[in-house]
Structures are given as C-alpha cells and as structure tokens.
Amino acid sequence: MNIPLEMIAGMTEARFALMLLAVDPGLKGALIGGGPGRAKSLLARSFARLLAGMPFVEAPIAATPDRLVGGLDLERTLRTGRRSLAEGLIARSHGGFLYADSVNLADARWTRTVAAALNSGVLRIERDGFSAAPPAEFALIGTYDPGDGDIDSQLADSVAMHVIEEAPPALSERLQVLSLAARRETGPSRIAGDDGGLRNRIDRARSRLPRVTVAPEQYRELSAAALRLGVEGHRAEIFAVRVARAHAALGDRDAIDERDIDAAVRLTLAPRARTRPDSSASSASGERPAPATAPNNQSRDDRRIPAQDAPAPDEALGTSPPANSPSRVAPSARRQRTRAQTLSWTRGRYVRADTRKAPKVALEATLLAAAISHGRSNNRRPGRALLARPSDLRYKQFRVDSGLLVIFAIDASGSMAVNRIHHAKGAALRLLQDAYRRRFSVAVVAFRGNSAETLLAPTRSASLAKRALDEALVGGGTPLAAGIRESLEIARRARLAGGPPALMVLVTDGCANVASRPDAREAVWEEIESLAVVARRDEVSALVIDTTKPLFSTGAAERLARSLGASYVRLPRAGDAAVYESVAAAGEMVRGRAAPA
C-alpha cells in the first residue's frame, strides 16, 4: 500500500530520523526498533516516496551471498569467455538506500558484509578467482523488533541514528489508523496522497546543508556529552555533528543551536551510552546535562541497572590480569583481536577455489577455467561444446570460524557471592559486546544452597545476560559439584546440537561443602573427581578463578583446577576487566586447539 510518510500514525521520532537521513545520506543510516504492528516496514517503504529517483533497494536478511554481494555472471562468462560481474543488492543501492527488515536476526556474514561496505564505501568481492571493488556509497535503513534480540554491535556502530519507539500509540494515533483502514476499503487510490510538500522541505534543507556552521564551543559541547555518556571512539561524535547540521538545515537555520544539539544527543550519542551521567556534576561544570531518560535503544529492564554497575575507571581501561596468571592463560586477550579461523577442504564457508585435488569440485570455477581456456583456443568456433580438461578442474576450499561457548559457573554462596556475581556479570557483558568479532556465546550457572540452576541458556544477547545476573539469589552452602554438573550438561547439549567447543569458568573459592546426597558430605571431592573425568571425556576446557585472598586460602580452588585439568588464576580483588581478560585469553587458546584442520 502506497501511503504518504506523514499519514503514518505515531512513529514520530523514527519518521524525523528518516527525514534527516534524506537530507544527509552521509549519516549512513538509521536503525528503527519497535514492537509488532508499529508500521516500521510501512514507514520505511513510504520513505522511498521522498527520494526522487534515488535507489531504494530491499535486502532480505536471508539473501544469499551471490544475491547480496554479487559475483560471477556464469552465463555471460561462458558466452564471452571473459569474467563478468553480476551486480548484487548492495551495489544496486549505490547512491541511495538499502532497506532490511528484522535486521537483528541477520547472520554474521550478512551484517559483516553490510557494515564493511558502509564503512569503506566500496564493496569488495573476492570469489572463485574473481576480484572486483565496485563503489557502494549508500545508507542503511534497518527495522527490527527489540524483543527478538539485539542488533550486531559492528552494524549498529556503522550508522548514525538509533530509534526505538516504545510508547504505545496515543488515542489520536489509533483513530488515525482506523480512519486509514476505512479509506483503504474504498480503494488504494483514495489514500495515495502526495508528499510534495515534505519533499520540497527536504530539497531546501539539502541546499542549505553546506552552509550550516558549527561553533567551536558546540563541538566541545557534543564531545563533552559523548564523554559523560561513556561513548567509545570518535565515530559517534562525528555522526552527532552531522545530525546537528542536518537538523538545523531542516529547520531552515544556517547555524546549529540548542535544539540541534539536543537532537544529536538523543538520536546518536544516547543510544551508544555505556554509563549513566551524573547530572549534578554536569550542572556544576556548566555543561549540558544529558537527557534524564535512558537511551532510546535500551530495554526497560536495562534501565533498572544501578549506576554502580558501571565499570570503575581502571576497569574501563582494561587492566591486565595479575602477574600470577598461569602460563596456560595467554598474557593479554587484547592482542588476539581476530577470530580464530582455519581452512578446511570439507566444511565451513566456501572462500576460494584451488587446483589442489580435494573432495568437493568448485563447479563455477571449473567452468570459468574451461571457458577461458576455450576462449583462448585457436580452434574456437561459435556453438562449439565446452570441454573441461583435467587441468581446468578446481576444488572448493572453506574457512571455518571457531566459535566458543563460555559457561560461567558462579559460586553464589557465602558473603562474597555478590562480588563474584558482579564481576562475572561485567566480564560476561564485555564478552558479549565482543560476540561479533570473537563469536562468543555465554551461559550462566549459579550454585548455592543445595543445588545449581541455569540462570542463562547459551546466548549472544547482552540484555538477557544482564537481566539474568541481576536476578540471581545469593547465600547458603556451596554445592560445587552441582554447579559443575549443570555446566557440563549445558556443554553436552550444545555439542549434540553441533555447537562450538565449551569453556567452563568457575568463579569460586573452591570450598565445596554440599554433595548431591545429604548423607555424603565426606564424599564431596569424590563427586568432583568423577565429574572431572566426564569433563575430560567430553573435552570441556575449564578455567578456575580463585576469589580468596592469599592469607585465607585453603588451597581448595587450586585443588579444583588440578582435578579438572583447568587453567588457574587467583584474582582476590577481581574487577570485571581482569576477569574478562583472563576468560577471553583462555577462550582464544581453547578455540585455537579446537579449530579443525
């Protein structure tokens, strides 16, 4: 249904973000979230009416690599004997917009490809011996339901504006929807409408945009806001300046003012916030306080997190693990930023063809080689059959990304339980922020009293992990064996489902005092030893993080590490940064060992 943008009920903030994007496509895109039935897709498609000939290309998240990126045009290549490129969806959006619905459900390859093209302005194609780099200057419009999970962090960082329409439609908006539905019954032509006035406004803003100025103190104001909100990197600040300028141009102003800065903070900086600003401190320094509400892309549950959950300054800088970290744990996870990958001839993502003989023939590459050979032949005649010689045969080579399931088994017993959970929570959230690059997923088990429970099934959602750890109960005995058993069961289920290798991270003092049977307390360690056999059999690696101070240590955590064949690190004053570094480093070693040859 072709509906003017201004006739769509509600979605005021999202509609305004799209208008800013039309004024300055250099903002690279807008991500629009909202529950089912909020007309997100209708809003995006109605936006296409304003573009006056600019491309608007829909890219399904299930699009195959050939369709998304493009590649070899086999038919033309065979006909001409020369390599020819088939244009993909991203290349078709050059100079315009790429639209995707349910963008948070796209797989890693889709998001990686789109983010790389957004950031570089070039689409790099390396397939089947074919190399090309067509231009790809476009902006992304992504819609999604936040209830289905978070958007990939690299993709989210590549666009300027993030909006989530959380408030339910007002009465006037509901009446507008009913009126629109009634008019639709009489025929689409009755509601076709005209966006001419809005298009003219956008055209005027585009003409004004190069003249809009930003004063030095306004640059400082935006940078200060980014600093207060804990926004990482400078890309967001650059985007914020562009949003402010586009907002001013749309308001027929030649210089930005307070309204434009407010819009830039609301649409660009606040959604990227990692800390809550101290409004009193801001006022005392004479700087603008950040919006009182939480960023518009956070869930209601996220807003309940207390301010003290933010990392301390030394933790935010990523301090290294203590010097007593064992040699089995790599010295710094930050030196291992690339995903562990390996080449395979049998499975994984097909990356290239090779002349070395292997199980799977690369048909397109073989036909290409034969066509080129055929085209160079002195005896080539039109209509002659194409013959593939043994020397033309090409074989598929694959690349395997070695993911990892990190299972936090947290000792929720005793007086130190709150600290253990707090630091494990910080480490888990940092791992999930790295989930795109490292391909980590996280599960959480807590053991206390007489049993263990799974607080979080394997996930890559930071919001789910935060919620689960916030709701953890503490106190009681230490059923260490129950925690190990529950963790091994999670690892077993993941393995049966074809999942990645597992790393069990035990955050504990090791002082087990509860067995599975009330009459078997003296057999606690026998039970742990039997579970250690299961862990080795199932190839579940382990890391023991000892939270006891040296003066009070009983050696129980070290004994636990020896039983499991685990890496061991003592972190009596563990901040989440130190826990994160230890877990990430151990995880990279596990993935390196598990990657198939």
Domain contains 202: no
Q: Who wins on pLDDT, 209 or 350?
A: 209
Q: What is the mean pLDDT of residues 9-21?
A: 86
Residue 363: band (very low, low, confident or very high) from pLDDT cuts 50, 70, 90:
confident
| pLDDT reported for residue 329 | 33
| pLDDT reported for residue 151 | 87
DSSP letter string, 317-377: TTPPPPTT--TTS-S-GGG--SPPEEEESSSSEEEEEESS--SSB-HHHHHHHHHHHHHH-
Domain count of the chain? 4
**Whether residue 177 sits in one domain with residue 51:** yes
90 touches 117 (CB < 8 A)? yes
Cα(427)–Cα(420) distance, integer angstroms: 11
Residue 279: band (very low, low, confident or very high) from pLDDT cuts 50, 70, 90:
very low
**Whether residue 150 sits in one domain with residue 116:** yes
Query: What is the average pLDDT value for the chain, to the nearest integer?
Result: 77
588 touches 333 (CB < 8 A)? yes
Residue type, 352: R
Indicate whether 338 pLDDT > 50: no
Its domain, for residue 494, covers 333-339+402-594
Indicate whether 242 pLDDT > 90: yes
List the CATH number of the domain containing 406. 3.40.50.410
**Whether residue 530 sits in one domain with residue 463:** yes
pLDDT digit string (tens) for 473-485?
888 888 899 999 9
| pLDDT reported for residue 343 | 61
The angle that helices 235-250 and 196-208 make with each other, rounded to 10 degrees, is: 120
**Whether residue 564 sits in one domain with residue 485:** yes
| pLDDT reported for residue 117 | 94
**Whether residue 192 sits in one domain with residue 239:** no
Tokens in use for 156? 């989210």
Residue type, 202: I
Instruction: Work out the angle at residue 248's Cα, subtended by the Cα atoms of residues 247 and 249, and round it to the nearest 5 degrees.
Output: 90
Q: What is the mean pLDDT of residues 268-287?
A: 60
Task: Identify the domain boundary among 173, 197, 221.
Answer: 197
Instruction: Work out the angle at residue 207's Cα, subtended by the Cα atoms of residues 22 and 219, and round it to the nearest 5 degrees.
Output: 80
Among 114-128, 135-149, 358-372, the least confident range? 358-372
Domain contains 315: no
Terminal CA-CA length for the chain: 52
Backbone angles phi, psi at 520, to 5 degrees: -125, 35
Cα(146)–Cα(485) distance, integer angstroms: 33
Tokens in use for 82? 């020369």
Domain contains 274: yes
Residue type, 152: D
Residue 65, classified by CB atoms within 10 Å of its CB into exposed (0-12), middle (13-18) or buried (19+), is: middle
pTM (two decimals): 0.54
The 3-state DSSP class for residue 10 equals coil
Indicate whether 140 pLDDT > 90: yes
> Which is it for strands 404-411 and 440-448: parallel, antiparallel or unpaired?
parallel
230 touches 310 (CB < 8 A)? yes
CB burial of 411-430 (b: ≥16 within 10 Å; e: otherwise) equals bbbbebbeebbbbbbbbbbb
The 3-state DSSP class for residue 86 equals strand
Q: What is the mean pLDDT of residues 127-135?
A: 74
222 touches 243 (CB < 8 A)? no
Residue 538 CB coordination number (10 Å): 12
Q: What is the mean pLDDT of residues 517-535?
A: 77
| pLDDT reported for residue 283 | 36
Q: Who wins on pLDDT, 290 or 104?
A: 104
Domain contains 48: yes
Indicate whether 359 pLDDT > 60: yes
| pLDDT reported for residue 454 | 92
Residue 298: band (very low, low, confident or very high) from pLDDT cuts 50, 70, 90:
very low
pLDDT digit string (tens) for 168-205?
666 666 666 566 556 655 555 444 555 667 888 999 99
**Whether residue 165 sits in one domain with residue 269:** no
296 touches 557 (CB < 8 A)? no
Domain contains 346: no
List the CATH number of the domain containing 233. 1.10.8.80
Q: What is the mean pLDDT of residues 344-358?
A: 73
DSSP letter string, 164-192: EE-SPPPHHHHHHHHHHHHHHHT-GGGG-
| pLDDT reported for residue 402 | 59
| pLDDT reported for residue 593 | 59
Cα(402)–Cα(384) distance, integer angstroms: 46
| pLDDT reported for residue 237 | 94
| pLDDT reported for residue 161 | 97
Task: Identify the domain boundary among 153, 170, 197.
Answer: 197
**Whether residue 531 sits in one domain with residue 502:** yes
Indicate whether 10 pLDDT > 50: yes
Residue % of the chain over a pLDDT of 70: 71
Domain contains 324: no
**Whether residue 119 sits in one domain with residue 11:** yes
Residue 8: band (very low, low, confident or very high) from pLDDT cuts 50, 70, 90:
low
Cα(363)–Cα(204) distance, integer angstroms: 53
Domain contains 301: no
Residue 36 CB coordination number (10 Å): 8
**Whether residue 573 sits in one domain with residue 425:** yes
Domain contains 9: yes
Q: Who wins on pLDDT, 440 or 14?
A: 14
**Whether residue 102 sits in one domain with residue 40:** yes
Residue 223, classified by CB atoms within 10 Å of its CB into exposed (0-12), middle (13-18) or buried (19+), is: middle
**Whether residue 134 sits in one domain with residue 25:** yes
Residue % of the chain over a pLDDT of 90: 29
Whose CA is closest to 574, among 505, 521, 522, 515?
505
**Who's near 478: CB < 8 A, 6+ residues apart?**
411, 413, 414, 447, 448, 508, 511, 512, 513, 514
Q: Who wins on pLDDT, 383 or 36?
A: 36
List the CATH number of the domain containing 119. 3.40.50.300
DSSP letter string, 427-456: HHHHHHHTHHHH-EEEEEEEEETTEEEEEE
pLDDT digit string (tens) for 376-432?
554 445 555 667 788 888 888 776 555 788 999 998 887 677 878 888 888 888 888
Highest mean pLDDT among 214-218, 520-524, 562-566: 214-218
The 3-state DSSP class for residue 97 equals strand
Residue 56: band (very low, low, confident or very high) from pLDDT cuts 50, 70, 90:
very high
| pLDDT reported for residue 171 | 64
79: which strand partners? none
Backbone angles phi, psi at 473, to 5 degrees: -95, 155
**Whether residue 576 sits in one domain with residue 510:** yes
